[in-house]
Structure formats: structure tokens, C-alpha cells
């Protein structure tokens, strides 16, 4: 997994609430049993003029020149709610998004991000609205800088916000770890738990 | 201090406290389907990893398979065949259970799991599907995960999970005649928004829940995720035990007795403290229906399409404006009487036997309105067989409904069959998102009986006005 330590990038404001994973990548865009090839399907319903077409809708923010190179999304509450499809995260990553700043996230989407090298940052509504104003004034220049080690978001107005993330998620992102390998370091504990549990709850074991 | 049911299940499954609010949790059961499970199984295979306890892993073919009679591996979903065959091959190689096409246990994963006794009170169960919360209705900790986490759960038998905050939603009072679990959960989401349960594990409790039959409890828990919750759970009681008893994978004989003794210790202690409590009074809830593109966009059938100008919050105002544009609705329009193009009864929310019975009671002896496409898709093959045994299929087909094989079908649009461009649909499903049931399809969510009533009337209508025959 790609490490996430710090990032300074163009941020695209997409300030809608409840952007669900169907909107991030419509189901019809999942054509193969694969984690790859999903970037072109990102936001397909909004990004293209017609269903199934690849003609870009010029009004959609990620089609506009400075934002085509965005690495950060600014969004409204409950980003990534809905379907558990991890394809939403894979398509964002493939398109080039490395961090998403929103007031809240769908729970499954949030863990999917962390497991795929995307940093989900929770800031409050008002600050996100301010950040959106700042970047909109000059998207290419007014980049946002995120430092995961310090857990800060810095904008060109000099404002610095700190954000929360669990140490485990932070470490996973910063070191680009394989979560299964990390857990397997505790395999003895898992097996010991299972042996005890089998006696305590025999009815669970088929 | 006492513990909540959520804490009891959490403690019983904690392998290690990782020290930062997250725990390594032991996972009793993993379920999967061909849409996201196929990727997880393939991912494990590619990494050379094995499924640790394949006997506790179960898959269903439900998302991509067609539901038209005589279906095969070929499907209307573009590229769908690969999801089906990959899942089958990978499941066989991994040695996990699979309820494949042609198996009479096949169906929608969240309907099949309780039906087969795979989910039980007191277990942890995960599935790469957001509506896994449905299964919390038996008193299990069941939640949706992504494909990568599914690989983790299958390979290690554990997941790293951040301990959720706890909430209790108490449904007080008794709902009136014709008011269902669907109306209750829509009301909750309408009142507290689609993000209202964000970060919480929610126990649904109260008088109305205790009186609720098992199948209705599944409907309620199904939409916990539409409330933004991490998951929902209902404490097991006599109704739960009676439901689980005798199911194919449920414990038998003396092991059943052991299980029962354990299950009785699960309900929240009287002095347990939740991080948040909400009380909903059920007495004055009327049949609910959504008008927009989020489950929070809902009102009673006696209501009207809201005016965004009355919404003080800018974000919510914009969301309403967009929704009305998408739904092609103008503020002030009464929902009662809104003409529909299609009626869909199906999904893991509302396609169990009791749902089909409730809809059937409305439909019986009546005809679907001219020009309305009406479809029933049973939640599982078992539900289908049971419904056919009591003649429900004939009730629906004689009225003009299509009667399908089980699967997710048009609950979601994957590029294949759908409810039509810019068509207005009333649906017993759980999501009215943009393009969810078809390209620019306009979905109104409601209970199965409300969907049936709309199919007959040709427009949204209060089911209580139609006399049951
Ligand atoms: S019926 Fe619909 S909501 Fe349920 S699992 Fe299938 S697609 Fe998801």
C-alpha cells in the first residue's frame, strides 16, 4: 500500500451532503472482478453528460482545469455513505485523490480509505466552507497541506487545524502496512482465544 | 455499572485491546456475495492466503444473478457472468460454503443467513455488504465491511475495529393498524437525518420492538445503515429463540440448551448507560413514504413535498433542491395521488414471507393499474417456495405482478435490468439514491403493503384506505 505521510495538493470542493458510494462509482461501472480500471468510472453519473457516455460534463468540478489535478476532496457530511463497495475508494485512488476532508464519513468507507492509502480527515462544516472559499479563489495556488504525522491541515490563510485519527489507522497509513500481516503477528493470541472460546461457546463452532 | 448488549458482545469477542480505542475482535461468521466477495476471495488467493475456518464462511449468489425464471450464469448485467463464475471457482478452491444458483437455500445474503441459522444471538458476523446490519435483529453484532476487510476476516478470523459509541433508540407505544417496521425506521431517519446514527452501534428497544415479530425486526435493523449507524441490534427474547430453533445451522440438543443459557445473559443490564438515547413515539406514526433522494427525505403519506425555502440549514436546503429536481417534484405537491410507473416488492429490507403476505392481502382479487409495471422478487428461494405453497404467487400473477426468482434484482441498478429512465417507482427497498434502481429512476420508498396499494391504485396512496380482502 502506498504510504501517506504528507501531502500538499489542489483541493476540489464538492460540498454536497450524503454523497454515497453509488454516486462515487455507480454500480454499472463495476464491470470486472478487479480493483483496477475504476478511475474512469469515478463520479460517472455527474462527470459525464449521459449514461454510459464518456463525454465530459464541463460543469462538474473535477472536469475543470485546475481541479483535474486535485489530490484532495472537500466535501459535506456523511461522505461515502451507502453501499460497502470498496470500488469507491479504489476509483478515487486511481483518479488521484489521496485525502478527503469532510465533517463525517460513512463508517465502512472510512475504514476502506485507511486500508487503501487514502486519508479521511474530519473537520467541522464551517472550517470546510472556509477552506472551500480559500481554494476556490485560486485553486492552483491555494493548495492545502496535510501532515499526517502532526495531524494537521494547513491552508494559505495560515490557519492550521488538527484532526483526530486512531494511532492504528495513522500507523497503517504512514507505514503503508499490510493489515493482515500486522494482525498475523498476534496469531498466537488469536489461536489461544479460539481454543478457550471453543470450550465456552461450543454452539458457535460448526 | 451494568453493560449494554453491545458491550457484552464486544467484550466476549475481544482478542486484544490495541490500546487506542480499537480492539482485535474475533469474528464468528463471514458471509459474502458474488459482487464484492468475489474480489475478496480472489485477493486472498493472489496473496497465497488461506481461509482460516472455511466451514464458518458462507456465500450467496444474489447481486448479479438474474431473477427471471429459467436464469443461468448469463446475466443482463454487463460483465456479470465473470462475477458469478469467479465466485463459484474461488469459493470451491477455498472450501467455503456457497448457496449457488439452483440450490433451494439461495437468496439474498441477509435473508438467507437467519433463515439457515447461520447468524445467531451472541455471534459476530461480517459481510462485505452494507446491509449486514439486518442480521443484528437476532441479537448478533453484525456489520458491513469492505472487500479488503473481508479478506482480513477470512484469513485471520479477526478484524481490527474501533469501539463504537452506543445509542439506544426506544420505540414507545404501539403503532396503529397498518403501520409497519418500515414506517418506524423511515420516521426515525426522517426525524434525525441519514447521518443521525453516525459512529454508533444502536440497540433498538422499547415496547413496539418487543411486540414485533422477527421478520419485522429484520426490516428495522436493515435500515440502521441508512441512519448512518455502524450497526443495529435487538436483544434476543423468546421470539428470537423460537425463530432460531431448528434452523439448519443452529445448535441442536444439549448444545442448544447451552446456547440458550448464554443468550439469556445478553440483554442490556437495567443500569447500563448508553452514550445517547432517543425515544420515538409510535402511536401517531402514519404510513411513511420518501419524496427525495435520501431516506431522510420522507414524510407521512398525508404529507406534501417540502419547500426548500423553509429549510434554514444551507446544506440541507441544497440537498432538498437537488432532490426535487431529480425527482421532478414541486414543493407543496401532495404525495397521495402521485402517479407511478412501477412498483417493486423485493430486497433484504422487505421481501420475507410476512412482507409478501401483507402485500398479497392488498393485491388479492384486484388488478394492477394500467401502465404500471409491478414486480415481486422473493427475498430467498425458501421464501419463494413457502409463498408458492400458500398460493401467493397466484395472487400476485393474477393481479398482474411478475413473480420472480430470488435475488437483489432491481433493488440496485448494475447496468442491466432496471426500473426505467426517469420513471417513477415505488419500492419496498432501502435506498432512494440517484440512479439506484435505474438511470434517473425516481424511487419512493415505502412498506410492501404501501407498494402493493400504489400498484393497484396507479399512484401513491394510503394503504389504510384500501380495504383488505
Ligand atoms: S437486496 Fe438490495 S440492499 Fe439488499 S443486499 Fe441486495 S442490493 Fe443490497
- The answer to whether residue A1 is domain-embedded is no
Alpha-carbon gap, residue B449 to B354, rounded angstroms: 10
Yes or no: say if A87 and A116 are a contact pair by the CB < 8 Å rule: no
Tell me how far apart the alpha carbons of residues B75 and A43 are, in angstroms, rounded to a whole number: 25
Q: Are A9 and A144 in contact (CB under 8 A)?
A: yes
Strand order in the sheet with B97-99: B97-99, B57-60, B29-33, B124-127, B141-144
- The beta-carbon neighbor of B230 closest among A22, A107, A184 is A107
Largest CA distance in chain B: 63
Q: Are residues A164 and A184 in the same domain?
A: no
What value does the mean pLDDT take over residues B386-406? Answer: 98
Q: What is the distance between the alpha carbons of residues B216 and B448, in angstroms, rounded to a whole number?
A: 12
Half-sphere exposure of B377 (CA within 13 A, CB side): 27
How close is the Cα of B346 to the center of ligand 1, in Å?
9
**Cβ of B347 less than 6 Å from ligand 1:** yes
Using CB atoms within 10 Å of the CB of residue B252, give its burial: 0 to 12 exposed, 13 to 18 middle, 19+ buried: middle
The three-class DSSP label of residue B381 is: helix
- Give yes or no: residues A11 and A59 share one domain: yes
Distances (CA, A) of B168 to B4, B280, B320: 9, 11, 28
Asked whether residue A185 falls in the same domain as residue A108, the answer is: no
Run of H or E residues at B59 = strand B57-60
Whether the per-residue pLDDT at B469 is higher than 70: the answer is no
Relative to beta strand B200-205, strand B165-172 is parallel
**Is position A17 within any domain?**
yes
Domain B288-467 coded CATH 3.40.190.10: no
Between chains, do B318 and A16 touch, taking CB under 8 Å as contact? yes
Cβ of A108 within 8 Å of Cβ of B198? The answer is no
Which of B354, B349, B395, B390 shows the shortest CA–CA distance to B374? B395
Block residue for cell numbers 443467513: B113
- Report how far ligand 1's centroid is from the alpha carbon of B430 (Å): 8
- Per-block average pLDDT, block size 10, for chain A (206 residues)? 94 95 92 89 93 91 96 96 93 97 95 95 96 96 97 95 93 93 96 97 94
Sequence spans of domains, chain B: 14-160, 288-467
Work out the average pLDDT over B77-90. Answer: 94
User: Which of B126, B161, B66 is closest to B407 using CA atoms?
Assistant: B66
Set of chain B residues whose Cβ sits within 8 Å of the Cβ of A29: 415
- HEC-encoded secondary structure of chain A: CCCCCEEEECEEEECCCCCEHHHHCCHHHCCCCCCCCCHHHCCHHHHECCCCCCCECCCCHHHCHHHHHCCEEEECCCECECCCCCHHHHHHHHHCCCEEEECCECHHHHHHHHCCCCEEEECCHHHHHHHHHHHHHCCCCCCEEEECCCCEEECCCCCEEECCCCHHHHHHHHHCCCHHHHHHCCHHHHHHHHHHHHHHCHHHCC
Give the residue numbers spanning the domain of A188. Answer: 178-206
Burial class (CB in 10 A: 0-12, 13-18, 19+), A140: exposed
Distance between CA atoms of B377 and B380, rounded to whole angstroms?
A: 9
Q: For residue B457, what is the enclosing H or E element?
A: helix B448-457
pLDDT category, B160, cuts 50, 70, 90?
very high
Reported in sequence order, the residue ranges of B276-430 that DSSP labels E, i.e. its strands, are 276-281, 288-290, 298-300, 342-345, 373-376, 402-403, 424-427
Q: How confident is the model at residue B314 (pLDDT cuts 50, 70, 90)?
A: confident
Ligand 1, atom nearest to B431 Cα: 3
pLDDT tens per residue, range B12-64: 999 999 987 899 999 999 999 999 998 999 999 999 999 999 999 999 999 99
Instruction: Report whether residue B108 contacts ligand 1, using a CB cutoff of 6 Å.
Output: yes
Interchain contact, B433 vs A82, CB within 8 Å: yes
Nearest to B35 by CA among A126, A72, A115, A27: A27
**Closest to B97 measured CA to CA, from A77, A80, A168, A206:** A206
Report, at the CATH architecture level, how domain B14-160 is classified: 2-Layer Sandwich (3.30)
Whether A18 and A33 map to the same domain: the answer is: yes
Cell representation of residue B150: 473481508
pLDDT > 70: percent of chain B = 99
CB-based contact A144:A11 (threshold 8 Å): yes
- Tell me if A204 and B28 make a contact (CB, 8 A cut-off): yes
Element spanning B124, H or E? strand B124-127
Residues of B in contact with A166 (CB under 8 A): 20-22, 162
Residue A197 inside a domain? The answer is yes
Q: How far apart are CA A110 and CA A84, in angstroms?
A: 10
Give me the residue label for grid cell 487514502.
A118
H helix or E strand, kind and range, residue B355:
helix B353-363
Q: Do A52 and A103 have their domain in common?
A: yes
* Claim to verify: residue A197 and residue A114 sit in the same structural domain: no
* Residues A183, A166 share a domain: no
Q: How far is the CA of B414 from the centre of ligand 1 (A)?
A: 12
Nearest-CA distance A192 → chain B (Å): 9
Residue closest via CA to ligand 1's atom 1 equals B347
pLDDT tens profile B173-184: 999 999 999 999
Q: Total structural domains in chain A?
A: 2
- What is the band of B468 on the pLDDT scale with cuts at 50, 70, 90? low
Q: Residue B467: pLDDT above 70?
A: no
Determine if ligand 1 sits within 6 Å of the CB of residue B129. Answer: yes
Q: What are phi and psi of A199, to 5 degrees?
A: -80, -40
Residue in B15, B38, B194 nearest the CB of A189 = B15
The partner residue sitting opposite A203, judged by closest CB among B42, B258, B421, is B258
Give the closest residue to A38 by CA, choosing from A52, A24, A56, A51: A24
Find all residues with CB under 8 Å of B143, minimum gap 6, and list them: B126, B132, B133, B136, B230, B231
**pLDDT for the residue numbered B426:** 98
End-to-end CA distance of chain A: 35
Structural element, H or E, at residue B231: strand B231-233
B124 CB-near residues (< 8 Å, 6+ apart): B9, B13, B25, B26, B27, B28, B29, B140, B141, B142
What distance in Å separates residue A29's CA from the closest CA in chain B? 8
Angle at B350 between CA B199 and CA B179, to 5 degrees: 90
Closest in A81, A167, A186 to B24, CB measured = A186
In a domain, A205, yes or no: yes
**CATH number of the domain where residue A41 is located:** 3.20.19.10
Is residue B86 a contact partner of residue B42, using CB atoms and an 8 Å limit?
Answer: yes
Place of cell 421478520: B215
Provide, as residue numbers in chain A, all residues whose Cβ is less than 8 Å from the Cβ of B128: 84, 86
Handedness of CA A11, A13, A16, A19 (dihedral sign): negative
* Rounded average pLDDT over B56-74: 96
Nearest residue of chain A to residue B37 (CA atoms): A33
A205 chain-B contacts, CB cut-off 8 A:
56
CB pairs under 8 A between A and B: 181
- Asked whether residue A27 is domain-assigned, the answer is yes
Q: What is the DSSP letter of B146?
A: -
CB B91 within 8 A of CB B63: no
Cβ–ligand 1 contact at B412 (below 6 Å): yes
Q: Phi and psi dihedrals of B81, rounded to 5?
A: -55, -40
| Average pLDDT of every residue of chain B | 96
What integer pLDDT is reported at residue B85 of this predicted model?
Answer: 96
Find where cell 382479487 sits. B365
Q: What is the pLDDT of residue A33?
A: 85
Q: Residues of B with CB below 8 A from A125's CB?
A: 315
| A117 and A204 together in one domain | no
CA distance B183 to B447: 7
- A136 domain residue, yes or no: yes
Same domain, A167 and A197: no
Q: What is the pLDDT of residues A99-124, one digit of tens each?
A: 999 999 999 999 999 999 999 999 99
**Interface predicted TM-score (ipTM) of this complex, two decimals:** 0.93
Given a cut of 90, whether residue B451 has pLDDT beyond it is: yes
Distance separating alpha carbons of residues A178 and A117, to the nearest angstrom: 11
H/E stretch holding B30 reads: strand B29-33
* Beta bridge partner(s), residue B158: B26
Same structural domain for residues A169 and A188? Answer: no
Interface test with A, best of B75, B148, B223, B321 (most A CBs within 10 A): B148
A150 within a domain of the structure (yes/no) = yes
Q: Are residues A109 and A44 in the same domain?
A: yes
Judge if B14-160 and B288-467 fold alike in CATH terms: yes
For A83, nearest residue in chain B (alpha carbons): B130
Q: How far apart are CA B286 and CA B335, in angstroms?
A: 13
Q: Are strands A144-147 and A152-154 parallel, antiparallel or unpaired?
A: antiparallel
- One domain for residues A16 and A62: yes
Amino acid at each position: 500500500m502506498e504510504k501517506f505521510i504528507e501531502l500538499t495538493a489542489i483541493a476540489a470542493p464538492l460540498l454536497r451532503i450524503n454523497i454515497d458510494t453509488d454516486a462515487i462509482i455507480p454500480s454499472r461501472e463495476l464491470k470486472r472482478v478487479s480493483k483496477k480500471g475504476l478511475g474512469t468510472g469515478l463520479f460517472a453519473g455527474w462527470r459525464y453528460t449521459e449514461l454510459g457516455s464518456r463525454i465530459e460534463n464541463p460543469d462538474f468540478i473535477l472536469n475543470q482545469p485546475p481541479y483535474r489535478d486535485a489530490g484532495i476532496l472537500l466535501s459535506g457530511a456523511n461522505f461515502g455513505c451507502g453501499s460497502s463497495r470498496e470500488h469507491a475508494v479504489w476509483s478515487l485512488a486511481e483518479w488521484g485523490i489521496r485525502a478527503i476532508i469532510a465533517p463525517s464519513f460513512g463508517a465502512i468507507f472510512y475504514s476502506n480509505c485507511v486500508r487503501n492509502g487514502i486519508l479521511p480527515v474530519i473537520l467541522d462544516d464551517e472550517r470546510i466552507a472556509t477552506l472551500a472559499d480559500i481554494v476556490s479563489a485560486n485553486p492552483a495556488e491555494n493548495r492545502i497541506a496535510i501532515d499526517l504525522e502532526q495531524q494537521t491541515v494547513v491552508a494559505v490563510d495560515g490557519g492550521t487545524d488538527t484532526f483526530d485519527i486512531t494511532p492504528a489507522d495513522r500507523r497503517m497509513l504512514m507505514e503503508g502496512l499490510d493489515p493482515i500481516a500486522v494482525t498475523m503477528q498476534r496469531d498466537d493470541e488469536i489461536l489461544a482465544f479460539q481454543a478457550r472460546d471453543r470450550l465456552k461457546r461450543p454452539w458457535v463452532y460448526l | 455499572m451494568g453493560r449494554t448488549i453491545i458491550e457484552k458482545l464486544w467484550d466476549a469477542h475481544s482478542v486484544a485491546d490495541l490500546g487506542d480505542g480499537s480492539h482485535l475482535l474475533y469474528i464468528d461468521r463471514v458471509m459474502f456475495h458474488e459482487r464484492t466477495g468475489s474480489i475478496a476471495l480472489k485477493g486472498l488467493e493472489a496473496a497465497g492466503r488461506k481461509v482460516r475456518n472455511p466451514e464458518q464462511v458462507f456465500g450467496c449468489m444474489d447481486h448479479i444473478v438474474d431473477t427471471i425464471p429459467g436464469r443461468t450464469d448469463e446475466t443482463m448485467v454487463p460483465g456479470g457472468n465473470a462475477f458469478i463464475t469467479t465466485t463459484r471457482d474461488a469459493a470451491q478452491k477455498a472450501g467455503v460454503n456457497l448457496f449457488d444458483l439452483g440450490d433451494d437455500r439461495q437468496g439474498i445474503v441477509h435473508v438467507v443467513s437467519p433463515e439457515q441459522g447461520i447468524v445467531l444471538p451472541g455471534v459476530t458476523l461480517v459481510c462485505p455488504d452494507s446491509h449486514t446490519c439486518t442480521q443484528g435483529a437476532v441479537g448478533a453484532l453484525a456489520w458491513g465491511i469492505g472487500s479488503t476487510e473481508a479478506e482480513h476476516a477470512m484469513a485471520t478470523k479477526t478484524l481490527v475495529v474501533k469501539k463504537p459509541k452506543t445509542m439506544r433508540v426506544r420505540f414507545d407505544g404501539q403503532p396503529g393498524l397498518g403501520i409497519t417496521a418500515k414506517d418506524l425506521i423511515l420516521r426515525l431517519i426522517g426525524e434525525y437525518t441519514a447521518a443521525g446514527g453516525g459512529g454508533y452501534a444502536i440497540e433498538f428497544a422499547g415496547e413496539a420492538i418487543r411486540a414485533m415479530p422477527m421478520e419485522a425486526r429484520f426490516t428495522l435493523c436493515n435500515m440502521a445503515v441508512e441512519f448512518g449507524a455502524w450497526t443495529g441490534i435487538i436483544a434476543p427474547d423468546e421470539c428470537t429463540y423460537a425463530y432460531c430453533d431448528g434452523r439448519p445451522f443452529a445448535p441442536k440438543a444439549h448444545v442448544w440448551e447451552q446456547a440458550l443459557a448464554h443468550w439469556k445473559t445478553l440483554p442490556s443490564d437495567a443500569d447500563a448507560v448508553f452514550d445517547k438515547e432517543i425515544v420515538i413515539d409510535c402511536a401517531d406514526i402514519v404510513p411513511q413514504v420518501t419524496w427525495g433522494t435520501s431516506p431522510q427525505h420522507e414524510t407521512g403519506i398525508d404529507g406534501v413535498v417540502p419547500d426548500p425555502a423553509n429549510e434554514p440549514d444551507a446544506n440541507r436546503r441544497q440537498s432538498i433542491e437537488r432532490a426535487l429536481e431529480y425527482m421532478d417534484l414541486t414543493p407543496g405537491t401532495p404525495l397521495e395521488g402521485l402517479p407511478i410507473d412501477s412498483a417493486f416488492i423485493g430486497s433484504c429490507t422487505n421481501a420475507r414471507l410476512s412482507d409478501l403476505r401483507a402485500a398479497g392481502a392488498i393485491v388479492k382479487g384486484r388488478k394492477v393499474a394500467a401502465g404500471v409495471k409491478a414486480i415481486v422478487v422473493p427475498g430467498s428461494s425458501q421464501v419463494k417456495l413457502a409463498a408458492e405453497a400458500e398460493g401467493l404467487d397466484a395472487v400476485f400473477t393474477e393481479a398482474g405482478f411478475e413473480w420472480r426468482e430470488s435475488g437483489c434484482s432491481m433493488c440496485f441498478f448494475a447496468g442491466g435490468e432496471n426500473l426505467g429512465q426517469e420513471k417513477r417507482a415505488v419500492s419496498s427497498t432501502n435506498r432512494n439514491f440517484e440512479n439506484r434502481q435505474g438511470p434517473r429512476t425516481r424511487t419512493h420508498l415505502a412498506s410492501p403493503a404501501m407498494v402493493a396499494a400504489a400498484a393497484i391504485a396507479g399512484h401513491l396512496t394510503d394503504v389504510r384506505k384500501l380495504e383488505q380482502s
